[in-house]
Structure 1
Amino acid sequence: MEPTQHTSAHDPYLWNRAKARVGFRIHLRTYLIVNAGLWLIWAFSSLAIHSFTRFSFIFPWPIFPMIGWGIGLASHYFHAYQQRSERSMIEEEYQRLVKQ
């Protein structure tokens, strides 16, 4: 049996939570590697441009993909690690509806 499959002994809810958390960690690792590469490209290109011109400042453009992707990463984090699970929120809402 492959590791991505689960047996009936696993709780499906916990299995999905575990998959979400592993997915977040993979997303975080990719974010860090790609953004480090973008900053290295910026640094080396800034050095090359600086050696040919008298300008001493090149705008740090990697900040834009870092912020945009960071917003998505934060959303992924809250989905994977939120304190209150969707299951508990649904249960609370169901109990409210039952009381009505």
Structure 2
Amino acid sequence: MPHPMTPDDIEQLARRRAGAKLGWYVHAAAFVVVNLVLFSISRYGFGSRAWSVFPLLGWGLGLALHGISVFVLGTGSGLRERMVQKERERLLRAQQERNQR
């Protein structure tokens, strides 16, 4: 069972998670602005091919992975905490088995 969090622990975790989410929102805003500019250049500027799709896809993948790391696997997320708890239990069982031998 995880140890109870102190109010300072809760405050620190909340600030860290809020900062990570804010970082993702800034990343997403930059993605939209830059890709709109690239699309405009691609469409109305240089060449007739839609080359702007390549940076869009590459950066989009990076943005998606960043989002997963923040919203799914981030510190304090339910999935991460369950995985940590399972690993902790597995290690404790292994240690108890060694001690019983």
Which deviates the most, 8-17 or 63-72? 8-17
Deviations 1:79-100 (A, max 9, x none): 1110535344222211121122
Deviations 1:41-87 (A, max 9, x none): 112116xx6xxxxxxxx221001100110111001100111053534
Q: Which residues in structure 2 correspond to 1:21-36 (within 5 Å)?
A: 21-36=21-36
Name the aligned partner's letter for residue 78 of structure 2. R
Q: Give unpaired runs (5+ residues) of structure 1.
A: 1-7, 50-57
Q: Which residues in structure 2 correspond to 1:1-100 (within 5 Å)?
A: 8=8, 11-45=11-45, 58-82=48-72, 84-100=78-94
Give the structure-2-normalised TM-score. Answer: 0.70
1:4 equivalent in structure 2: none
Give the structure-1-normalised TM-score. Answer: 0.71
Q: Larger % of helix: which?
A: 2
Which deviates the most, 65-74 or 83-92? 83-92
In 2, distance between residues paired with 1:44 and 1:85? 45
The share of aligned pairs that are identical, in percent, is 28
Name the aligned partner's letter for residue 73 of structure 1. L
In 1, distance between residues paired with 2:86 and 2:12? 20
CA gap of 1:85–1:12, structure 2 versus 1, over 3 A, is farther
Q: CA RMSD in A?
A: 2.0
In 2, distance between residues paired with 1:15 and 1:93? 26
In 1, distance between residues paired with 2:89 and 2:13? 20
